[in-house]
Structure 1
Amino acid sequence: MPSFKRSFETVALKRWCAEHPGSAVHALLKQWALPGSATTGEACLRVAVRSGYLNFYVKGQSAAKLTCRAGGPSISVHSKYVEGHERGSEIAAGNATQSYIEFGSADLRKPETALLVPGWIKTAETYASAEKRFVDDLVAANAGVLDLEMGLPASDELGSERVAPRMDLVLIEPASGSEPAIAFWEAKCANNGELRAKGNADPKVIGQIARYVDWMRSETRATEVRDAYRQAASVLTELLELAGHSADAECSRLWTMLANSKAPKLSLQPGIVIGNYWPRGSTEGIASERMRQCAKSFEKNGHREKLEKAGLQLHQVGPDEMVLALPRLGGLGA
């Protein structure tokens, strides 16, 4: 069975970047907005460590993938972003293929490639849905964010389905005792049909969370996740200097705490955070009252009650007096 891993060759990347200032790699990293800070025009990307590469997100939408091998780094970008085909354009609508363009080390050294990076990001942002933008709002309000779109590998523990669902956010919770905790959150806007079900049926999200918990219940898997996220925290702290960020940032303190932890706790039961508002820049219906109406019907029609009876911990944000900071899940379970 494939293992859950988080790793990246930071030493090799630092060496290459020192030899090639002004590269497209620098152009990507300088736009990294740290967890706990809002995204702006000059710093609009989030970074997530994967198994051997980094993924860059703009408003929750994957924008570019950075790999570093023996021959140097490479960046993979969706062809739509490279060609400037924004969401809703006639060309984008007529091309549903998932094709990517890879820029190798020689291309990344060229100043003209670095000049292309803002265009990739601008185009990728047009594909960011309300829910993805909600996730970015949560990252801005929670310095402990460690990962986005935590995808679990295929596993025999899941039977015929084999692939566990993703968790939208992974957070470090400061330790109340000697060790920090790693907590997991699923983020959904109030209009997401997976939060609802008619009659006696269960909302789809209940099964989603159950499959995730089943995957994590194995002590082998729990150990993999602990080890992987300690490694991810170490990678992120090492990238700070390369990106020009201060090591005094709150997220850096939390990453260092986890990287140095011997036995961090895991919150096996994820929380669900529900956004009852249209995030800035949403195109699905920001001028309407639909999200507010969905938030009301979620309560009125008993959907919240179903989720709570299933033992799920819910946290709602907006539309009034918005507070995006997530509560502690407690590190219970493993």
Structure 2
Amino acid sequence: MIADLLTLWRPSGAPSSGNFGLRLAIRNGYLNLYQFGQSMARISFDRRCQPVVSLHPKYVLCRSKGESAGDLSSAYVRISGDAISGRQSGLPERYAGHEMLTKWITTARSYAGDEKKFVGRLVGANSNVIDLEMALPALPGKRSAPRMDIVALEESDGKTRIVFWEAKCMDNSELRARAEPGPGSGAAIFEQLATYEDWVSDPQRSLSVQQAYVSTAKALVELHGIAQSLHDVELPFSDLLRKTAAEDGAPELQCRPRLVIEDGPKNGSFAPHLKRLTDQGYVVRIVEAGEIRPVLGAHD
């Protein structure tokens, strides 16, 4: 199954090849695979250093969004070799190959909302994306950790920088909060961006992030070599990611996150909200609905 997943991997900047191309993100000790911005599978290693694939049972049982999930346990299904194990009833005993995998991918895609699909399109158009859903530690009183949608590299004036992007659709109410901007204001988008910026601005955390993304670039280069050996045609890969992996030093870090927004039917009333964002010094890029083009670089 590992080979099938890597065969479907499309690095940043490469088209998704229909409805089954996957995106890959490096984590601490495992890999995450995404379909249209929706987390779909995890590759980790057991005590014998053998790869194990983990998926949510709703994908393996092909329970698409809108269908009854029944009494599914949230415990993930594990696939080692071709053996499938889990607590749920009705699971197949064996992984049966590419056709089975594409059914699971189709199911996962049904759970991707508009903003996740937007993220998927952005990754396909921007080869400088190095990570998806960078998780920060959970905030006090919160059950889930905040996640920055996209981490990218950019090159300007001979320097490489790590930049963070939050992706939103224009009709997202968080963008249209009327409270005055600033910490504690209750304006959702400003609180969200300030949380990200405060966390990465800590010098020790900044250094850790810089070092982590150099390691990520090196791991992606190695994985690209493995994936390329499974393909008959050239698998694209970012020159900037390759350069970052080869250099001795770490890229600079741009702590202030940026916004990339997909245009929508409410664009006529968005001008004052856009002004509030830019007045606070945020870089904002607007993308037409459904448009696929590079927008996350220094000069895009």
TM-score by length of 1: 0.76
> Which residue is 1:168 aligned to?
149
Query: Which structure carries more helix by proportion?
Result: 1
Q: 1:325 aligns with which of 270, 295, 298?
A: 295
Contact 2:163/2:253 (8 A) holds in 1: yes
Question: Using the alignment, how far apart are the partners of 1:133 and 1:106 within structure 2?
Answer: 30
Question: Using the alignment, how far apart are the partners of 1:321 and 1:168 within structure 2?
Answer: 18
Quickly say closer, same or farther: Cα 1:260–1:83, change in 2 above 3 A.
same
CA deviation string 1:46-81 (max 9, x = no partner): 000011111000000011000124341000001000
Quickly say closer, same or farther: Cα 1:183–1:199, change in 2 above 3 A.
closer
> Which residue is 1:288 aligned to?
none
> Which residue is 1:287 aligned to?
none
> Which residue is 1:295 aligned to?
267
> Which residue is 1:227 aligned to?
211
AA aligned opposite 1:264? P
Matches within 5 A, 1:114-263: 114-154=98-138, 165-177=146-158, 179-198=159-178, 200=180, 203-244=187-228, 249-251=236-238, 253-261=239-247, 262-263=249-250
Question: Using the alignment, how far apart are the partners of 2:176 and 2:77 within structure 1?
Answer: 39
Unaligned runs of 5+ in 1: 1-23, 277-290
Question: Using the alignment, how far apart are the partners of 1:42 and 1:164 within structure 2?
Answer: 29
> What RMSD, in angstroms, separates the aligned Cα atoms of the two structures?
2.7
Question: Using the alignment, how far apart are the partners of 1:324 and 1:175 within structure 2?
Answer: 16
Question: Using the alignment, how far apart are the partners of 1:124 and 1:329 within structure 2?
Answer: 34
TM-score by length of 2: 0.85
Question: Using the alignment, how far apart are the partners of 1:25 and 1:321 within structure 2?
Answer: 32
Question: Using the alignment, how far apart are the partners of 2:156 and 2:129 within structure 1?
Answer: 15
Q: 1:55 aligns with which of 32, 37, 40?
A: 32
Quickly say closer, same or farther: Cα 1:320–1:241, change in 2 above 3 A.
closer
Unaligned runs of 5+ in 2: 85-93
**1:310 Cα offset (Å):** 2.1
Identity %: 37
Contact 2:79/2:95 (8 A) holds in 1: no
Question: Are 1:102 and 2:78 counterparts?
Answer: yes
Question: Are 1:308 and 2:284 counterparts?
Answer: no
Contact 1:148/1:169 (8 A) holds in 2: yes
AA aligned opposite 2:80? G
